[in-house]
Structure 1
Amino acid sequence: MTATAPETRQGSAPAGPGSQPPGRRERKKQRTREALVDAAFTLFAEKGFDATTVEEIADAVDVSSRTFFRYFASKEDVALTFQEEQTRAVMAALAERPPDEPIMTALRRTVVEIARACERGQLGFDPDRFQCLLSMMSDSPTLMAGSLEHAQKKQQLLTQIIAERMGTDPATDLRPHVIAASATCGFQAASDVARRHEGAFGSLSETIDQAFAILEQGLNS
């Protein structure tokens, strides 16, 4: 069920219809940002997240630490660029699901689709970087905390998208909030199980699929 799309570098975004291409200054800034992300993940893979410093990432790109902080608030911010790209892909894919599809079914198929794309290197995702991020979150409580905080911040956006699909107002309807929170918890539970019991339920995407199946079928069944 995974659709393919032209590959794009992580962190880059295609220009929309009628938009002007970025100027030289913006292209240079984008190249610098991408170079910092590339250098960071190379160092993370070699040394681990906690042992890598901001200074080392900056040195690898031949820029100063001050320049680094123009692009990222911290090395956690760099590491979670992949998670940010995942989130954007999920939101975009969810918006494309058939409008008459039950919401939890739509969420299940969307999240599994993006997880499989990450594993297989589709939709512009780098599977090595994906595995690196999963490994780092297993080893670094700091990065795991950052990942959970990121997910919590994005839950409000997910709630709004769900409410729009359901044709309701989240200010007066509790259902979109509960569904978004359930989806977030289902994903986190699957990810935690996949890290702690590697292979017990198959790949990460397969584990996510099983977790969302439980939500889709109902917890009392």
Structure 2
Amino acid sequence: MTATASEAHPAGPGTPPAGRRERKKQRTREALVDAAFRLFSEKGFDATTVEEIADAVDVSSRTFFRYFASKEDVALTFQEEQHDAMLAELAARPSDEPVLTALRRTAVAIAQACERGEMGIDPERFQCMMTLTADSPTLLAGSLEHAQKKQLHITRAVAARMGADPATDLRPHVVASAVLAAFRAAADVVTSGAMGYTSLSDAVDDAFAILEEGVNLPSAPGGGGAGE
């Protein structure tokens, strides 16, 4: 049976093969991310517009929205990469490591990768993202929302390591929440400079040490409740 012209060329004459189209789409997406972070660094997040990002790549705003829902979505590609790297690193940790030890070493490794440009993470984007979230309440809110949505993945990874069922066991949920809180607290003290930290990996290590050691400390002498 002889194939028809439409069957032989399902995408139509002159249309690039699917593989070439996908590579072109990926290049366009990466170009938009590169342009966005360059503009964010120069102008700040809030002052940068979608139109400026699209113009920098010589595409229309309509094309931009084929790839991203908003400029917040572009900025959070870094956080998405960071999250994926963390899950991969955690999965590679020895199965007999205590859960918080494994999480601490994973988090420190990811922070070091951000600082050093390892695991495919761009250190310039990392520095830019740290500055942007500190300066833009809009992006900070988006970052926190993104982390909240991704918490389920961490909960499942923690549950698997603990041999627990997250549907009936609260512990994996508490641990996953504590992980995100520790990472956020470390980022906050680095960007604020309030405690003298200049390295995210050092702050992350100290934050997880607190979780490992426990925080149920005795009250300071004379320390009463909030209502006293």
Same fold (TM over 0.5): yes
Distance 2:213 2:33 in 1: 40
Distance 2:79 2:212 in 1: 24
How far residue 205 of structure 1 moved from its aligned partner, in angstroms, is 1.1
1:111 aligns with 2:123: no
Distance 1:68 1:202 in 2: 36
- Report the CA distance shift for 1:199/1:46 in structure 2 as closer, same or farther (over 3 A): farther
- RMSD over aligned CA atoms reads 1.2
Instruction: Identify the match of residue 101 of structure 1 among 97, 102, 108.
Output: 97
What letter matches 2:206 in structure 1? Q
How far residue 201 of structure 1 moved from its aligned partner, in angstroms, is 2.8
Distance 1:109 1:210 in 2: 11
Would you identify which runs of 4 or more consecutive aligned residues in structure 1 move more than 6 Å? none
1:26 matched residue in structure 2? 22
1:176 aligns with 2:167: no
- The structure whose Rg is larger is 2
How far residue 198 of structure 1 moved from its aligned partner, in angstroms, is 5.7
1:50 aligns with 2:46: yes
1:153 aligns with 2:149: yes
What letter matches 2:57 in structure 1? V
TM-score when scaled to structure 2?
Answer: 0.85
TM-score when scaled to structure 1?
Answer: 0.88
Distance 2:35 2:201 in 1: 27
What pairs with 1:63-78 in structure 2 (closer than 5 Å)? 63-78=59-74
Identity value in percent: 70
2:204 matched residue in structure 1? 208
1:194 aligns with 2:182: no
Question: Are the counterparts in 1 of residues 189 and 195 from structure 2 also a CA contact under 8 Å?
Answer: no
Distance 2:81 2:194 in 1: 24
How far residue 217 of structure 1 moved from its aligned partner, in angstroms, is 1.2
What letter matches 2:44 in structure 1? G
What letter matches 1:54 in structure 2? V
Uncovered stretches (5+) of structure 2, i.e. residues with no partner: 1-17, 218-228
Distance 1:199 1:86 in 2: 24
How far residue 191 of structure 1 moved from its aligned partner, in angstroms, is 1.1
2:4 matched residue in structure 1? none
1:85 aligns with 2:85: no
1:126 aligns with 2:135: no
Uncovered stretches (5+) of structure 1, i.e. residues with no partner: 1-21
Distance 2:158 2:119 in 1: 23
What letter matches 1:60 in structure 2? A
Distance 2:198 2:29 in 1: 35
Distance 2:20 2:197 in 1: 48
How far residue 199 of structure 1 moved from its aligned partner, in angstroms, is 6.4
What letter matches 2:86 in structure 1? V
